[in-house]
Amino acid sequence: MKQQVKIRWQFGGVLLLALICGVIAYPQAVKFFPFLHDAVAKLHVNEGLDLQGGIHLEYKADVSQLDSSKVNDALSAAESVIERRVNAFGVGEPLVQLSQSGSEHRIIVELPGVKDIDQAKKMIKETPFLDFREQSDATEVDQQFTAENEKTKQQADAIFAMVKGGQDFATLASQYSQDPGSKEKGGDLDFAKQGTYVSAFDDVVFDKDFQTGTIWPELVESPYGWHIIKKTGEQGEGDDREVRVSHILFIKKSSALYPDLAWKTTGLSGKNLKNAYVDYRSQGVGSPQIALQFDDEGTQLFADITKRNIGKPVAIFLDNEIISQPTVQSEIVAGQAVITGNFTMQTANELVKRLNEGALPVPITLVGQQSVDASLGQDAFEKSLLAGIVGLGAVAVFMLVYYRLLGAVAVFALLLYTAMLLTFFKLSVFTPFAITVTLSGIAGFILSIGIAVDANVLIFERTREELSYGKGVHKAIQEGFRRAWPSIRDGHVSTLITTFVLAGLGTGFVKGFAIILALGVALSLFTAVVLVRITTMFMAGDWMERHPKLLVSPKKPLEE
């Protein structure tokens, strides 16, 4: 008697769970109770980019200047910064994740519901990349180009020999010149007055012995490289004298032509920024400046940088542009720095806001973008939903025909399982582990339905066997569950292991599929072992002992 009361209470709990999950999963069921319906209808399933449409952006992260031991930390920090940035713009359930292909690191950003791709790029790119750099040794920089410049000089000599051999100057200029401004015009620089060009070039083209229609007899070396020069015209006299020349330029690389190489990274960047605020140079009304406060690591780095650069400038770069290069007067150990510039109060406040939202520790470059149409996702969702309903209906018919009342229990359990999973999706938004449903996730959900049915089939087949041996209904059901449990356990555990591997090693759609499949497998195990058992034991009363064929089709003729 005690056992019967216990089973009734347990079955009451199953019905209560079914009622709660059913209302949350399908709010229309309580539309006659407006207060309850309005409260439940606010709960929703987070739809992924492929279901509701949106923007997919892919950025390449430049980690070439980082020590290999700091790459992972810098990428994680960049991921967090971008996530904070898009969250500040109110984007619903953005997905920001890292991926790697070979030695190339990428940051993938998916923004569901965003339609304007320019707005999406703006909200990411406006996050500034802040870093501090010190002066490079110009000699060391120039030495890097020595071998390359020697090859360029050899090429210039070879083309110069072709010019002197009578080949068409304009054709050679169009083919070999490295001056983009004149290359397409056969090297023509048009008329110009003396003083227009750098002195090494100017002295040659305005030489009084340089005759129109001739080639200057030597290669001319200027700060820009080596020139083959042909004089094509001359007009005016005195101060109004103008000369027209064409040239073939072979660029010589040097520190003077590459100002970015004049500075080298120090390791101090936006990831070390603790706080930024607007300050003034003097009391009262003055020009605003940006005060920076570094964390412990940044404080030590800044102290080392200022110590070795006393009397030298240290440049502050924002998005790879110099915004300030103050000269270090003394070692700074307090972990504070100042950005000066032509700031207004508005621009200073905007920059402070952007810096405090997060300065990227690595530069990023947009390498891929895609706009996903919501109508395509909706069409795919509707087809997937139809497939799920058809599949569930086919399984329900089979279970009812083949397993009779036990089949009815299985159908009830499947409906409850579906309601529980949808409830879990909706309530997960209130947790730190909110689930975003994608098309691949729906595939995992539908597959998990089949796994849930498989567990029921194992139980019911074992129950049929026990009934065929002449055992009573209660005993047969208990034995059916007991004997089926090892197979159910092993099957579910092996599937869970597979999903964990997929979730750990996969990316994007594969991970979404694996997570929802794992959740479905765990819930199906609970449904089969707990809910189906309680429901079956509740149904199996004394009347069933007299009519076991109503419970399940016999495996062989049974004696009633």
Sequence-distant (6+) residues with CB within 8 A of 240 are 193
pLDDT at 260 over 70: no
Q: Which residues have C-beta within 8 Å of that of residue 436, sequence separation ≥ 6?
A: 46, 47, 48, 93, 95, 112, 512
Q: How confident is the model at residue 358 (pLDDT cuts 50, 70, 90)?
A: low
- Residues 475, 477, 482, CA angle at the centre, nearest 5°? 95
The predicted structure's pLDDT at residue 559: 45
- Nearest partner of 442 among 493, 505, 380, judged by Cα: 380
- What is the C-alpha to C-alpha distance for residues 169 and 171, in angstroms, rounded to an integer? 5
- State yes or no: pLDDT of 423 exceeds 60: yes
Residue 374: per-residue pLDDT: 61
CA angle 410-412-417, nearest 5°? 90
Whole-model pTM: value is: 0.50
Evaluate whether 258 touches 141 at the Cβ level (below 8 Å): yes
Q: What are the tens digits of pLDDT across the range 275-305?
A: 888 886 554 456 788 888 888 888 999 899 9
pLDDT in tens, 49-86: 666 777 888 888 888 777 777 788 778 877 877 776 67
What is the rounded CA–CA span in Å between residue 370 and residue 521? 33
Q: Which amino acid is at 207?
A: D
Query: Which residues 6+ apart lie within 8 Å of 33 measured at CB?
Result: none
Distance between CA atoms of 179 and 175, rounded to whole angstroms?
A: 11
pLDDT tens digits for 20-32? 888 888 787 777 8
Residue, of 187 and 341, whose pLDDT is higher: 187
Residue 163 sits at the vertex; the CA angle it makes with 252 and 195, to the nearest 5 degrees, is: 55
**What is the rounded average pLDDT of the residues 539-557?**
63
Structural domains in the chain, sorted by start: 2-46+373-551 (1.20.1640.10), 54-136+260-369 (3.30.1360.200), 146-251 (3.10.50.40)
Say how far apart CA 82 and CA 125 lie, in whole Å: 9
Rounded Cα–Cα distance for residues 210 and 199 (Å): 16
Mind listing the pLDDT tens digit for each residue in 104-158? 888 888 877 777 777 777 767 655 677 888 887 766 666 778 888 899 999 999 9
The DSSP code sequence of 65-84 is TS-GGGHHHHHHHHHHHHHH
Structure tokens at 462: 């074992």
Distance CA 230, CA 245 (A): 6
The 10 Å CB-count burial string (b at 16+, else e) for 404-436 is: bbbbebbbbbbbbbbbbbbbbbbebeeeeeebb
pLDDT of residue 192: 92
Could you give the residue ranges of the DSSP H alpha helices within 372-508?
Answer: 374-427, 439-468, 473-505
Per-residue pLDDT for 429 more than 80? no
Contact 270, 360 (CB under 8 A): yes
